[in-house]
């Protein structure tokens, strides 16, 4: 269907229709959006998990020695 569509009585349907725009966010835009929304960075969480595992292994080795 063509936009705007004109009916037989002359009424135009969709004459003010604005198609949705595509989101063209840069990496910096996504970073700041995440900061403002309170999204935690995944890399920091993964690093914390690795540190916890390493410390647990070190503690197990020290306690069993």
**With a threshold of 0.85, does the pTM exceed it?**
no
Residue spans of the domains in the chain: they are: 41-65
Tell me, what's the pLDDT at 18? 83
Question: Cα angle vertex 44, ends 38, 48, to 5°?
Answer: 125
What is the pLDDT, as a whole number, of residue 31?
86
Q: Are 16 and 23 in contact (CB under 8 A)?
A: no
pLDDT per position as a tens digit, 16-60? 888 888 888 898 998 899 889 987 766 667 788 889 999 999 999
């Amino acid at each position: 269907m063509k936009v705007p569509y004109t009916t037989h009585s002359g009424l135009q349907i969709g004459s003010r229709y604005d198609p949705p725009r595509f989101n063209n966010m840069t990496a910096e835009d996504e970073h700041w959006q995440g900061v403002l929304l309170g999204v935690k960075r995944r890399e920091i969480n993964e690093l914390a998990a690795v540190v916890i595992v390493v410390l647990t292994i070190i503690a197990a080795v020290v306690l069993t020695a």
